[in-house]
């Protein structure tokens, strides 16, 4: 009998086909490079691309914006649930609960047809930023800021979070970060969503599971650890010594390395300039200088390069966004990729059910309880 091939963590294993995204030759969404999309499109356009398959015309984009903006609201019972959550509930945990609860209020919840899933996906795209902002302000003891239908996805989120409009530079930086976080092939959370709906479960269940997978520090939670690293490094004058000492202690430095990208993450290079500009606008480039030094040491000593989380954590810090919001912002973007994969899976479904290599005891008989040693 031939021993099955086993790859820990499924590394290098091809688990399916997709028309949504590829990381071969650089990251692209439905044939468009992320660099081209980040430079020439808004996140709203990219969201349409991922969900509907093509970049929108001006008319299609206006119609899409109208549908999404109209859905920027939460059912009152969800707001009551936010108020009842324990004070130690993290923003991402609250969001996971919110998405699960929203499934109860969606009239298409049990309909797994292509069109119904698109409608649910557009509604979740609208509702997730509202849930993040409403819960955050509630925890802070601040009044809710109603969503605005005239603002873009990024601009509306920042407005709801702060109660004032963000600058055009901040909106553009947030927009680019959302584009870069939107989709990434069969990553852990996306694959989790596809596995869930392959049982013919529903979109809300798949997205709830995806958020659960995103929570881990080896996936979405990594961007929240970036500022911990920089703060521990202490600043430009101490960064090299700290980094070398951390490597000697064999500590993992979050924000570096990637299962797929071995020579660097193209997304990190795109977002780095926005992180730098935001730091300059905030009046302090200390952490950008610290990051540059850490990058040089990591490249020289470990041949490891930044991933997207490295500049994203710094960008959000420079924009004065609180660290527990970083991973929910990731989810606010990745809902587009998750939903696109859920729809693709259900449109051509086959139950995802891999096998395992058994390494337990050999076959044995059950002894009567009185004879067990």
CA atoms lying within 13 Å on the CB side of residue 262: 1
Query: C-alpha 94: how far from its chain's center?
Result: 15
Q: Strand, helix or coil at 89? A: coil
What phi and psi values does residue 370 have, to the nearest 5 degrees? Answer: -75, -15
Catalytic residue from among 219, 309, 317, 341: 309
Is 309 an active-site residue?
Answer: yes
As a whole number of angstroms, the distance between CA 151 and CA 283 comes to 27
Catalytic residue from among 65, 153, 204, 258: 258
- Residues β-bridged to residue 311: none
- Residue 140's CB: how many other CB atoms inside 10 A? 9
Sequence-distant (6+) residues with CB within 8 A of 241 are none
As a whole number of angstroms, the distance between CA 223 and CA 238 comes to 22
Q: Are 250 and 305 in contact (CB under 8 A)?
A: no
Token pair of 352, please? 């995802």
As a whole number of angstroms, the distance between CA 268 and CA 274 comes to 10
What is the end-to-end Cα distance of the chain in Å, rounded? 35
Is 317 an active-site residue?
Answer: no
Vertex 138: Cα angle to 136 and 142 (nearest 5): 100
Q: Are 85 and 92 in contact (CB under 8 A)?
A: no
As a whole number of angstroms, the distance between CA 333 and CA 174 comes to 10
Catalytic residues: 258, 309
């Amino acid at each position: 009998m031939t021993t099955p091939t086993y790859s820990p963590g499924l590394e290098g294993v091809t688990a399916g086909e997709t028309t949504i995204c590829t990381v071969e030759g650089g990251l692209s969404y439905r044939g468009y490079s992320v660099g081209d999309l980040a430079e020439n499109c808004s996140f709203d356009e990219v969201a349409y691309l991922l969900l509907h398959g093509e970049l929108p015309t001006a008319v299609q984009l206006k119609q899409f914006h109208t549908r999404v903006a109209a859905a920027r609201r939460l059912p009152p019972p969800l707001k009551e649930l936010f108020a009842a959550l324990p004070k130690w509930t993290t923003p991402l945990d609250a969001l996971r609960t919110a998405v699960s609860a929203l499934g109860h209020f969606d009239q298409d919840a049990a309909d797994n047809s292509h069109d119904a899933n698109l409608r649910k996906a557009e509604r979740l795209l609208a509702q997730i930023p509202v849930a993040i902002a409403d819960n955050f302000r509630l925890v802070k003891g601040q009044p809710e800021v109603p969503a605005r239908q005239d603002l873009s996805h990024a601009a509306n989120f920042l407005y709801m979070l702060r109660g004032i409009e963000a600058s055009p530079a901040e909106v553009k930086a947030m927009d680019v970060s959302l584009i870069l976080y939107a989709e990434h092939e069969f990553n852990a959370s996306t694959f989790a969503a596809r596995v869930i709906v392959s049982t013919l479960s529903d979109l809300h269940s798949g997205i709830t599971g995806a958020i659960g997978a995103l929570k881990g520090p080896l996936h979405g939670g990594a961007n929240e650890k970036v500022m911990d690293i920089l703060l521990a490094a202490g600043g430009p004058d101490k960064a090299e010594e700290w980094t070398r000492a951390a490597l000697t202690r064999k500590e993992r430095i979050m924000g570096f390395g990637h299962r797929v990208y071995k020579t660097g993450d193209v997304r990190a290079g795109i977002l780095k300039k926005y992180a730098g500009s935001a730091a300059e606008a905030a009046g302090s480039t200390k952490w950008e200088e610290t990051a540059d030094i850490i990058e040089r040491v990591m490249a020289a000593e470990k041949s490891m390069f930044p991933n997207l989380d490295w500049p994203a954590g710094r960008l959000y810090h420079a924009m004065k966004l609180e660290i527990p919001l970083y991973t929910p912002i990731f989810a606010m973007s990745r809902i587009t990729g998750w939903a696109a994969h859920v729809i693709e899976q259900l449109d051509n479904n086959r139950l995802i059910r891999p096998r395992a290599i058994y390494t337990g005891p050999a076959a044995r008989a059950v002894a009567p309880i009185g004879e067990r040693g």
